[in-house]
Amino acid sequence: MPTKGTRTTTRRARATRARANRGLRAIDLFSGAGGLSCGFEWAGGRVVGGIEINEDAAATFAQNHRHAKVWTSDIRELSPKKIVKEIGPIDVVIGGPMCQGVSQRGPRDPKDERNFAFWAFAKFVRELKPRFFLMENVPALVSDVHNRSLAIAVFEELESLGYYLAADVMNAAWFGVPQLRYRTVVLGSRESQPYFPTVAERGVLGRIPESEFKTVAEAIQDLPPVDAGGGEDDAAMPSLADDATPYAEMMREGARRLYNHWSSDTDEVNLARIRAVPEGGNWHNIPKDILPTRFLEVRPSDHTTTYRRLDRTHPAHTITTECGNVTSGAYTHPVQDRAITVREAARFQGFPDRFRFVGPRGAQYKQVGNAVPPLMAKQIFEALLGMVPVSMFKGRITLDVLRQYPEERLPFILAPRYKLLFGQSPWAARKRKDQLTLALG
């Protein structure tokens, strides 16, 4: 057991390391709007460069990282060495390579041409030689057997560059983000074994009860009501009510205006449908005479998030690029008959209100949906850079494990699922009641 003197020495060493690592310089590859960069700066770092091919997302990145050089370009056309000459040495490389080639909804083909992004990330690490890196992607990169050979090759490449790795699948809700969102996170350090925040180990082991999760109400109840297709891209920040949640207060810090609080247009047919859906309900609640005909041919257990209205007592479902479309998922406001606004989606992602998205409204929704939750990123960076105590948890996904199961499922559950968190459809509730009746005789 460590003595009091040992603990004091450890704390001093950690504090010294934290001071030394504040202000580290990072470049964000495949930056999108800049969710990872927002989290990195929130943790005390400096983002000095970003690369993003999408013009709207690059404009948002530039808007929120005024001191960073932004390249709106295909990363394959850029030279890491020339970039260093322009912006100086890089301490941290961060980024989320495009995931279309490995996503569950994609081809899951290791030879998909879009997987070049992983090798571009590795190229920048190889040539810039940063002290640390953070790479994030979809869970399927490591969970799906179709992607196993690619995952093995990526891990081999990163380790061959002289980095200690830590990797696992993280759930944003574990980090106080009011959303169930799973992502693969790979940490790298040239200096020593990197570790995840203590909360990540609790989450992986299933020791974070649902009662600890931030909810939809905590995230957005302080925002003013808007109509479908209404709201403003730039408005006065409303006063904070006395019963405002700590989460809302945290989101408002440093924000002088309320940006992006506008909702997408919804046609009258779909407005009639969502008016029939109660809080927490979904397409099962829509009367048959206005229900899309495709639902008459699917199983009641399918598409459970379609036309779902959010529940104020639970976290949001995963925010995607279609989060402004009530027909695409659980994107209907819990009590107002409309899609969630861009700002509400950003709140569910853990973006502080001072972060402003630019471009057309549809582009803003896509930027939010593509982003990494900054609040989650902040805490992971703090652990990676030694700014907070950690529990020595380096994750369970290693090169050895991947090699041991080249064509099989991994022998552990990557992240606990919280399916019961969202209640049940009327069909499922009736089925449960029938089963209970049979069980009781």
Residue 85, token pair as written in the block: 């000459």
Q: How many CB atoms lie within 10 A of CB 257?
A: 14
Q: Is residue 101 within 8 Å of residue 89, measured between CB atoms?
A: no
**Catalytic residue selected from 43, 83, 99, 226:** 99
Residue 44 falls in which region: left (phi positive, over 0), alpha (psi -120 to 50) or beta: left
Report CA-CA distances (Å) from 1 to 11, 275, 298, 396.
16, 60, 59, 26
**Cα distances (angstroms) measured from residue 390 to each of 167, 201, 274, 382, 394:** 15, 10, 45, 10, 10
Q: Is 38 a catalytic residue?
A: no
Secondary structure class of 14 (helix, strand, coil): helix
SS3 146: helix
* 3-state secondary structure (DSSP) of residue 260: strand
Residue 123: Cβ within 10 Å count: 18
Residues classed as catalytic: 99
